[in-house]
Amino acid sequence: MIEDIAIESRGTIKLSAPDCTSCMLCVRECPVWCIEIDSHTEQVTPEGARRPRSVAVLDAFTIDWGLCMYCGICVEVCPFDALAWAPSPRGGVGEAEQLVAGIEDLSG
């Protein structure tokens, strides 16, 4: 889980990928459609279990900072606290495509 910080510190939004279950709540609640998730399910049989379970595996998670309006609804709706505000704002970029941040960028 990402460390809790003051709500005033709306610099950027961080992703804790291991906590994300690909439930799609943030994607579907985002008013500006700036979040995209790509994932698939895998069959996992926990030790001692009789039958395999379906587990969602996160393949890609992107936030397009060119669309995001920093409303924080995604942070609010995430049931697993995989998204959280972080204090340091993002730096500028030279190309519009660089505003699309993936898992590695959002986890840093």
Partner 1 sequence: MTIAANSVEITQQIEWISAEQWRDSLASAHRQGWVCLDVLTAIDRPEQREFHVVLHANRVDSALGQWWGVVVPQHDAELASLVDVFKAAAWHERETREMFGITFTGNVVSHDPTAQGLLLSDEAPVTPLRKHVPLGARVDTPWPGNADPDPRRSASRRRQAPPGTRPEWFETGDGQ
Q: Strand, helix or coil at 36?
A: strand
Tell me: does residue 37 bind partner 1 (CB under 8 A). yes
Name residues contacting partner 1, limited to 38-77 (CB under 8 A): 38-41, 54, 56-57, 71-72, 75-76
Which one among 31, 46, 66, 108 touches partner 1, defined by CB under 8 A?
A: 31
Q: How many CA atoms lie within 13 A of 96 on its CB side?
A: 2
Closer residue to partner 1 (CB): 37 or 103: 37
Give first-to-last CA distance, the chain, whole Å.
14
**Residues 94 and 17 sit within 8 Å (Cβ to Cβ):** no
Binding site for partner 1 (CB under 8 A): 4, 7-8, 22, 24, 27-33, 35-41, 54, 56-57, 71-72, 75-76
